[in-house]
Amino acid sequence: MPSPIPLLVAHPQELIRAGLRAMLEKTGIKIVGEAVDAPNTLALAKKHKPAVILLDATIPGGDAFDLAGKLQKSIPATKVILLSAIDNPTYIARAKAAGTSNFLLMSVSRRELATAIENAAVGKNAMEAGPFRRVVASMTAKPNEAVSAARITPRESKGFSHVALGLSNEEIAGSLGISVETVKEHVQNVLRKLAVNDRTQAAVWAVRSGVVQGRILLRPTTRISRRRCVAGFEPPNDTLDVSPP
Residue 241 has pLDDT above 50, yes or no: no
Which amino acid, one-letter code, is at 80? V
Q: How confident is the model at residue 179 (pLDDT cuts 50, 70, 90)?
A: very high
The hierarchical CATH code for the domain 5-134 is: 3.40.50.2300
Q: Does the domain made of 141-242 have the CATH classification 3.40.50.1000?
A: no
Q: For residues 146 and 103, which has the higher predicted lDDT (pLDDT)?
A: 103
> What pLDDT score does 50 carry?
97
Q: How far apart, in whole angstroms, are the C-alpha atoms of residue 170 and residue 178?
A: 10
Q: How far apart, in whole angstroms, are the C-alpha atoms of residue 215 and residue 178?
A: 27
pLDDT cut 90: percent of the chain above it: 37
Q: What distances in angstroms separate CA 5 from CA 66, 115, 116, 211, 241, one per listed residue? A: 24, 12, 12, 40, 39
Query: Which of 96, 78, 75, 182 lies closest to 139, judged by CA?
Result: 96
* Fold match between domain 5-134 and domain 141-242: no
Q: For residues 185 and 219, which has the higher predicted lDDT (pLDDT)?
A: 185
Which SS3 state, helix, strand or coil, does residue 102 take?
Answer: strand
Q: How far apart, in whole angstroms, are the C-alpha atoms of residue 80 and residue 85?
A: 17
Domain ranges of the chain: 5-134, 141-242
Tell me the per-residue pLDDT of 120-178, one tens digit each, with 9 for 90 and over. Answer: 999 887 755 555 566 666 666 565 666 666 788 888 887 888 887 778 888 888 888 89
Q: Which of 51-55, 73-77, 92-96, 109-113 has the highest mean pLDDT?
A: 51-55
> What pLDDT score does 225 carry?
33
Cite the beta strand spans of the chain per DSSP E. 5-10, 29-35, 52-56, 79-84, 102-105, 216-217, 241-242
Pairing of strands 79-84, 241-242: unpaired
Tell me the per-residue pLDDT of 203-223, one tens digit each, with 9 for 90 and over. Answer: 777 766 766 654 444 444 333
